[in-house]
Amino acid sequence: MLTLTSNARVRTCDGLSRRDFLQAGTLGAIGLSLPHLLAAQARGAVDPKADSRSVIMIFNLGAPSQLDTWDMKPEAPAEIRGPFQPISTASGDIQISEIFPRMARHADKFSLVRSCYHTAAAVHDTGHQMMQTGRLFTGGINTPHAGCVANYLLGRRTDLPAHVLLPEPMGRTGGNLPHGQDAGFLGKAYDPFVLMADPSQDNFKVPDLLPPAEIGEARLARRRRLRAIVDETVRDFEASDNAALLDSNFEAAFRLMTSPQAREAFDLSKEPPPVRERYGQTRFGQCCLLARRLVEAGVRFVTVNTFLTVFDEITWDIHGSKPFTSIEGMRDIVAPMYDQAYSALLEDLHDRGLLADTLVCSLAEFGRTPKVNPAGGRDHWPQCWTSMFAGGGVQGGRVVGRSDPIGGVPAERPVDSGEVVATVFRSLGLDLETKLPGPQSRPFPIVDFGKHAIEELF
């Protein structure tokens, strides 16, 4: 999370602390994003024509049941097919569950990949890692989230961060492992900006857009004026080894906090009440609306967590008994919330002319067991599930892959996590052979060798 102040007491050889440096207002020149982008374009790692592309990654923490949502099996036995009926959609080739009537009207805008799988343990955390970074963390190496890779290679377009995480990072999901929502070995300078607030609340404010209590607006204005005086000092300082001691998060936080553009983008009160109601007055609904505002303002990558934990709240984690969710809870609470917000997001992006350049991917860590368990729910199942993609060059109304008659394993065109993340990078215009500065200074490919995007979507 990007913050303005820190308890760290790192000092340069001249006795200048990071806090002193910030208070002089001199961090504006430290960002390295533009040089990274220009260098990447020069070596062909980035398609300059795709620089307008953005991504909204919706992560369905808890994992929807493929059989009760987007890959129904109405001909299967009752203990497999579940209680819901399929309905026709705006795309004649696609049927989805009756619990998503709004999505059915927008099926011409999104496409389904019904043959996703992974081979890691059937725990939430490993799936979170694989589906957001393309890899399972091994050997103590935490690979970066796709949005953090985009931040490193493409940088920011405006005063706003390149990657924003809404509403906050994933919490406890049972495995006590990293979830893959940070920059990993790229370093904290490329972590996402984290909202850490619920945008559905009446008193919603972004904490890091507010000056710390000890720094008033007048003092901030003075520091901005001081920048002109110390520019030459900054250039000298950047050339020194001591610059490495400064946390570049400070620069990003200062820039964000003093930016009228950033305040405007995060200000949901600018939206007419009917628009806010269209997305739903839920945390997820308002996060989707905020994601649209951020992309419209120039943010490259927005990650939206539908939920923050699988315990003691209604989520996609439909084991059927407490502290988890029942199929009825998914039907009555989760599905209507998701149906409304996701449909409003696609429609809004389309109406504003943003969908063509904004990839909206809807991912999860795994699927659900084909057979309903004794509690009336479904358990973890990484062998097969469905992901959704819309916009950003993806053609709508398509189905890629096919599961077997009980939705248990891919029967056609299996798709693993590396291919899902490669598809995100492909939409952003990144060359999949691009290397990152990996652990022990070894080059690290942004996707595993031999992985390709799901080209059937484009």
The tokens for 255 are 């820039």
Q: Where are the alpha helices (DSSP H) in 109-216?
A: 124-133, 146-154
The answer as to whether 119 is a domain residue is: yes
Number of domains, the chain: 1
Kindly write down the DSSP assignment for every residue of 94-137, as one continuous string: -EEETT-HHHHTTTTTEEEEEEE---S-SSHHHHHHHHHHSS--
> Is 159 strand, coil or helix?
coil
At 281, which amino acid appears? Q
d(CA 324, CA 62): 10
Domain extent, residue 314, equals 54-212+260-457
CB 154 within 8 A of CB 300: yes
Which CATH number covers residue 420? 3.40.720.10
Kindly write down the DSSP assignment for every residue of 246-261, as one continuous string: S-HHHHHHHHHHT-HH
At 51, which amino acid appears? D
d(CA 268, CA 10): 37
The answer as to whether 136 is a domain residue is: yes
The answer as to whether 91 is a domain residue is: yes
> Per-residue b/e over 204-234, b at no fewer than 16 CB within 10 Å?
bebebbeeeeeeeeeeeeebeeeeeebeeeb
Kindly write down the DSSP assignment for every residue of 303-330, as one continuous string: EEES-S-SSSS--S---SSTTS--HHHI
The answer as to whether 156 is a domain residue is: yes
The answer as to whether 344 is a domain residue is: yes
Please give the DSSP secondary-structure letter assigned to residue 363.
Answer: E
d(CA 29, CA 35): 12
**Is cis: bond before 323, omega within 30 of 0?**
yes
Give the closest residue to 197 by CA, choosing from 186, 189, 209: 209
Which residue is it, tokens 């996707």? 447
Q: How many CB atoms lie within 10 A of CB 262?
A: 23
The answer as to whether 41 is a domain residue is: no
Residues near 222 by Cβ (< 8 Å), separated by ≥ 6? Answer: none
Give the closest residue to 117 by CA, choosing from 387, 394, 379: 387
The answer as to whether 313 is a domain residue is: yes
d(CA 334, CA 283): 12
CB 445 within 8 A of CB 143: no
Containing H/E element for 386?
strand 385-390
Give the pTM: 0.86
CB 158 within 8 A of CB 146: no
What is the per-residue pLDDT for 216?
Answer: 54
Give the closest residue to 270 by CA, choosing from 334, 317, 204, 212: 204
Kindly write down the DSSP assignment for every residue of 282-299, as one continuous string: SHHHHHHHHHHHHHHHT-
Residues near 278 by Cβ (< 8 Å), separated by ≥ 6? Answer: 340, 344, 348
pLDDT tens digits in sequence order for the chain, 458 residues long: 444 333 444 333 434 344 433 333 323 322 344 545 555 555 556 676 567 999 999 999 999 999 999 999 999 999 999 999 999 999 988 999 999 999 999 999 999 999 999 999 999 999 999 999 999 999 999 999 999 999 999 999 999 999 999 999 999 999 889 999 999 999 999 999 999 999 999 989 887 776 555 555 555 555 555 555 555 555 555 554 444 434 455 566 667 777 889 999 999 999 999 999 999 999 999 999 999 999 999 999 999 999 999 999 999 999 999 999 999 999 999 999 999 999 999 999 999 999 999 999 999 999 999 999 999 999 999 999 999 999 999 999 999 999 999 999 999 999 999 999 999 999 999 999 999 999 988 999 999 988 999 999 99
The answer as to whether 239 is a domain residue is: no
d(CA 147, CA 165): 9
The backbone region for 74, taken as left when phi is positive above 0, alpha when psi lies in -120 to 50, beta otherwise, is: alpha
What is the per-residue pLDDT for 28?
Answer: 30
